[in-house]
A and B are shown apart, each in its own frame.
Chain A
Amino acid sequence: MPEKLKFSIDGREGLADQGMTIYEAAKANGVYIPVLCHYEGLKPVGSCRICSVLVNGRWMASCTQPLSEGMVIENNTPQVIEYRRAIIEMLFSEGNHFCPACEKSGNCELQALAYRYSIMVPRFPYQFPQRQIEAYPGFLLEHNRCVQCQRCVRAIQTEDGRKIFAMKNRSKDVRVNVDPKLAAKLSPDQIQKAMDICPVGAILKKEVGFIRPIGQRKYDRQPIGSEIEGKK
């Protein structure tokens, strides 16, 4: 076994394996760093920036930054929480998120993060962008709710590695683009996976809405992150 790396997070000492990212190291030590674009098993892309932490005075995205020996990490300090909250608020003001009418309510990670960080209303003016809803044989793509996390881009590909979801345009107009022919061939299981992996209500499997009632959903009983914090 290679030697473990020592680090500290919010004053707590921790040990982690070589090659872990800051996010993984924190998780292994029972410390929750919030992520939105990151998903277990997918290559991290550092797009949402919610997992930003301060390391020796420098900002880093903990989902992509490898841990190194002796790092002193600030995660739950007022400044980090403040920036994190602002980024979550940016996502709310940038899209059109109407939680009460959304199928994903209660299972939505963006909503859960807003609750966890006690966000009542974003400090930024709502942009009310004009966005479309696209319909495909087995699913809907609700662009109003998309947060450009690229989870679907990474997770749903054909066997020979072609991307069914890919990013199109750039800057404020960047959006998920679907390959219609390949999308038509998705199996019901793949569509379910796409919907489950989407942190918000942007990918919706047709004909299965509200199968689990509100009140019994993932984040209805306990805040996001509890599953990590409960471990230690």
Chain B
Amino acid sequence: MDSIKKIISRYKKDRTRLLDILKEAQTVEGKISDQAIEAVAAALKISRAEVEGVISFYHFLSDRPTGKYVIYLNNSITSEMSGREKVALALEKEANCHFGQTSPDGLMTLLETSCIGMNDQEPAAIINGVIFTSLNEEKVKKIAGQMRKNIDVQEMVEEYGDGANQHDLVRAMVKNHIRREGPVIFGDYQTGQAISQVLKLTPEGVIDEIKKANLMGRGGAGFPTGLKWELCRREKSPEHYVVCNADEGEPGTFKDRVLLTERPEMVFEGMVIAGYAVGAKLGILYLRHEYTYLKRYLEYILENMRQNGFLGRKIAGHNFDFEIEIKSGAGAYVCGEESALIESAEGKRGDPRDRPPFPVQNGYLGCPTTVNNVETLATATQILNHGSAWFRAMGTPVSAGTKLLSVSGDCDRPGIYEVEWGLTLNGLLDLVGAKDTLAVQVGGASGQCLSEAGFGRKLCYSDLATGGSIIIFNKTRDIFSIVRNFLDFFIEESCGWCTPCRAGNVLIKNKFEKIVSGLGTASDLAEIEAWGKLIKATSRCGLGQTSPNPVLTTLTNFREVYEKKINKETDFRSEFDLARSVEQACQVTGRKFEEEREDA
């Protein structure tokens, strides 16, 4: 208990550090014990029920005992396509327990988790914070053997990935897979140059330049960045904050991981620029828990920037102070939503807030806050380096500049592509070496599933707007498996706050399974569509408002697949299939089942 008390006092009994305190307590004890919960609640002057509420919200916090090695195996659709099931079975065999359990000898705990940002090197897992990629049965056997010998998990990483993945403070087997370097993110760049330029301008001048560049949010929603900064700056408040949203959790996206690995200075510089523009003194990098392996490296980069005068007091010799601190989530997709992210950064459950007021009015600790995506901030740095005219010369008239795409699934070269806005899907499919493509999922689970008819469409804000997740499925793939994976994802990741998202997504999934099992009718198709529209219209945040998209967009683009499944002869069929239900009993008794008929 002394160690718990030490952790609490190190964080100065600060309520906003609750997540950090709980995570450290878990590291010490292997779980968050009853006594730890009581101690934390007492010290932070909150109820025990509140602490339990926070623990139960996040994937990576647990009040149940775990094994020495905690294995989180990713269950994204690309993981499934790359042989996840075999890996899962091999893990269960080695651990001698099922997923959701701890092995009898207390060595391993097997858990599932949603997309961990390694879609281009699946199946991937996180074991005690260390990333393992491209797993197969052999590797599982080897890793399990090492666990039995009590080898430290970091020592199990034999080969490091490319670039900064090899850095002493990272030492990860993660690969960058940068396939196409574009002129913005991967263009000419020298750390600090943009900051020096910016500090010669007025904050309004900086906002003006970003506005002229027509920079729009790169996370998916596409809100104009200059306007966001301006709205935030206009709010009167003693403090303003900048938050960099590095909680990329949309299935299939991993570009921010690569950006933070290879261009962290550009991102941090963007935060300093944003801070100057909105009048903030503190920036927070909200790093998704899955990327904790990058944290020490990123802190080292921040320290370097401080040493070189690009962070801290009197930046670049000007009268401007700005600090950046790193805060981490604990595993929750919904925290990518900006108001949920702020709640989480304040150490609470990651429930989204009601809007208005928007974060630019009432954000972190109730102060005006601009929340920007990692790529948006990096792009802002380059706009200030090279000018808005340079930026606008790329892309389309509406969608200026370039976009990082995270490409995964059935293609020869999955990875990161920096392309100009306006590229067609067909153009992209050629670029990445995709053949016999059946479907392309643009924008992750919350985006849309397009069929060949849509491959001529353009990636840009006025057509296919996207945060950059592109998952490719070839003709051997089953549309229903894809939809099922995404629906399960949303059910898992809904915060449960509002009725349509909490209850509705389960109802949609059940109806979907009824249709897939062959028991559906035309009215089921009409109903699932109507229910989907209702959930989209009435849900409280972006998660619920997009959660029926897997069903709705495949119903539009792959209608024939559904039509084939439904029973056209009747307009009513119960979910209950009598013949199937008594099948086993019939086999045992040797009787043959015959359906009773009214006319018999």
What B residues does A45 contact at CB under 8 A?
Answer: 354, 497
Cα of A163 to Cα of B497 in the assembled complex, Å: 17
B47 at the A/B interface (Cβ < 8 Å)?
Answer: yes
B257 interfacial by beta-carbon distance below 8 Å? no
CB of B503 within 8 A of CB of A169, answer no
Query: In the complex, what residues of A have CB within 8 A of residue B539's CB?
Result: 49
On whether A46 and B540 interact (CB within 8 A), knowing A167-B53, A174-B502, the answer reads yes
Q: Please tell me which stretch of B121-129, B265-273, B315-323, B504-512 contacts chain A, meaning at least 4 of its Cβ atoms lie within 8 angstroms of it.
A: B504-512
> Residue on B with the closest CB to A64?
B354
A173 at the interface (CB under 8 A from B): yes
- The interface centre, meaning the residue of B351, B354, B499, B537 with most chain A CB atoms within 10 A of its CB, is B499
Report which residue of A48, A93, A162, A181 has the largest number of chain B beta carbons within 10 angstroms of its beta carbon: A162
The verdict on A61 contacting B354 (CB below 8 Å), with A83-B534, A87-B500 known, is yes
Inter-chain CA distance A93–B508, complex, in Å, is: 13
Question: Which residues of B lie under 8 Å from residue A182 when comparing CB positions?
Answer: 47-49
| Residue A226 is within 8 A (CB to CB) of chain B in the complex | no
Contact of A172 among B332, B354, B502 (CB under 8 A): B502
Tell me the B484-499 residues at the A interface (CB within 8 Å).
Answer: 491-499
Q: Are B498 and A47 in contact (CB under 8 A)?
A: yes
Given A61-B354, A87-B538, verify A46-B47 contact (CB < 8 Å): no
- The reply to whether the CB of A18 lies closer than 8 angstroms to some CB of chain B is no
B529 CB, nearest partner CB in chain A, Å: 13
Give the complex CA separation of A59 and B53 in angstroms. 30
Rounded to whole angstroms, the CA-CA distance of A165 and B48 in the bound complex is 10
Contact assessment for A162 and B498 in the assembled complex, using a CB-CB cutoff below 8 Å: no
| Residue in A closest to B51 when the chains form the complex, CB atoms | A166
| A148 lies within 8 A of B496 (CB) | yes
Name the distance in Å between B528's Cβ and chain A's nearest Cβ.
11
Assess the B56–A87 pair: CB atoms within 8 A: no
Q: Is the CB of B499 within 8 A of A91?
A: yes
* Chain B residues whose C-beta falls within 8 Å of the C-beta of A127 in the assembled complex: 503, 506
Within the complex, the shortest CB–CB distance from A63 to chain B, in Å, comes to 9
Chain B residues with CB under 8 A of A172:
491, 494, 496, 502-503, 506
Chain B residues near A93 (CB, 8 Å)?
503, 507
- The answer to the question of B46 belonging to the interface, with a C-beta cut-off of 8 Å to chain A, is yes
Closest approach, in angstroms, between the C-beta of B335 and any C-beta of chain A?
11
Interface presence of B303 (CB below 8 A): no
On whether the beta carbons of B492 and A171 are closer than 8 Å, the reply is yes
Nearest B residue to A162 via CB reads B47
Chain A residues with CB under 8 A of B356? 65-66
Q: How far is the CA of A52 from the CA of B499 in the complex (A)?
A: 12
Known A-B contacts A64-B354, A167-B349, A172-B503; A52 and B53 likewise in contact (beta carbons under 8 Å): no
Question: Which residues of B sit under 8 angstroms from A47, Cβ to Cβ?
Answer: 497-499, 540
CB of B493 within 8 A of CB of A162, answer no
Interface size class of A (residues with CB under 8 A): 35 or more
**Min CB distance, B523 to chain A, in Å?**
11
Shortest beta-carbon distance from B539 to chain A in Å: 7
Encoded as 1 (CB less than 8 Å from any A CB) or 0, chain B from 521 to 559 comes to 000000100010010011110000000000000000000
Distance between Cα atoms of A124 and B510 in the complex (Å): 10
Is B181 at the interface (CB under 8 A from chain A)? no
Interface assignment of B189: CB less than 8 Å from any CB of chain A: no
Question: Would you call A177 an interface residue if the criterion is a C-beta within 8 Å of the partner chain's C-beta atoms?
Answer: yes
Tell me if A138 counts as interface (CB < 8 A to partner B): no
A160 at the interface (CB under 8 A from B): yes
* Contact (Cβ within 8 A) B503 A91: yes
Interchain CA distance A177-B49 in the complex, whole Å: 6
Q: Does A30 count as interface, using CB distance less than 8 angstroms?
A: no
Is A158 in the interface zone, CB < 8 Å from B?
yes
B50 contacts partner chain A, Cβ-Cβ < 8 Å: yes
Q: What residues of B have a CB within 8 angstroms of the CB of A49 in the complex?
A: 498-500, 538-540
| Chain B nearest Cβ from A107, distance in angstroms | 21
Contact B354 A44 (CB under 8 A): yes
* A59 lies within 8 A of B496 (CB): no
CA–CA, A160 and B495, complex, Å: 27
Could you say which of A48, A64, A172 has the most chain B C-beta atoms within 10 Å of its C-beta? A172
* Residues of B close to A65: CB separation below 8 A: 356
Query: CB-CB contacts of B508-519 with A at 8 A, as 1s and 0s?
Result: 001000000000
Q: Please, how many angstroms separate the alpha-carbon atoms of A117 and B309 in the complex?
A: 65
Q: Closest chain B residue to A182 by CB distance?
A: B47
- Binary interface encoding of chain B residues 56-86 relative to chain A, with 1 for a CB under 8 A from any of its CBs, else 0: 1100000000000000000000000000000
Give residues of chain B (95-139) contacting chain A, Cβ–Cβ below 8 Å: none
**Inter-subunit contact B499/A87 (CB<8 Å):** yes
Residues 30-59 of A at the B interface (beta carbon under 8 Å): 44-50, 52, 59
> Which of A167-221 touch B at CB < 8 Å?
167-174, 177-182
Judged by a CB distance under 8 angstroms, whether A28 is at the interface is no
Determine if A99 is an interface residue (Cβ-Cβ < 8 Å): no
Q: Which of B56, B500, B503 lies in contact with A168, CB distance below 8 A?
A: B56
- How far, in Å, is A136 (CB) from chain B's closest CB? 12
B507:A59 contact, CB within 8 angstroms:
no
B94 at the interface (CB under 8 A from A): no
Give the one of B49, B354, B531, B575 with max A CB within 10 A: B49
Q: Does B262 contact A (CB under 8 A)?
A: no
- CB within 8 Å of B: which A122-169 residues: 123-125, 127, 147-148, 158, 160-169
Contact call B49/A166, Cβ cutoff below 8 A: yes
Q: A83-B537, A90-B507 known; A171 and B49 CB under 8 Å?
A: no
Most chain A CB inside 10 Å of its own CB: which residue of B45, B48, B57 = B48
State whether B47 touches A94 (Cβ < 8 A).
no
Bound-state Cα–Cα, A181 to B48, Å? 9
Q: Are B53 and A179 in contact (CB under 8 A)?
A: no
Does B534 lie within 8 Å of A86, measured CB to CB? yes
- A172 to B487, alpha carbons, bound, how many Å? 13
Q: Does B92 contact A (CB under 8 A)?
A: no
Q: 15 A-B residue contacts at CB 8 Å?
A: A47-B498, A48-B498, A49-B538, A59-B537, A61-B540, A83-B538, A93-B507, A124-B507, A148-B497, A166-B47, A166-B50, A167-B351, A168-B56, A171-B491, A171-B494
- New A-B contacts (9) at CB < 8 Å, excluding given A86-B534, A124-B503: A47-B540, A64-B354, A90-B503, A93-B503, A125-B507, A161-B45, A164-B49, A167-B53, A170-B56
Nearest 6 CB-CB pairings of A with B: A174-B496, A179-B49, A166-B49, A94-B503, A179-B47, A64-B354
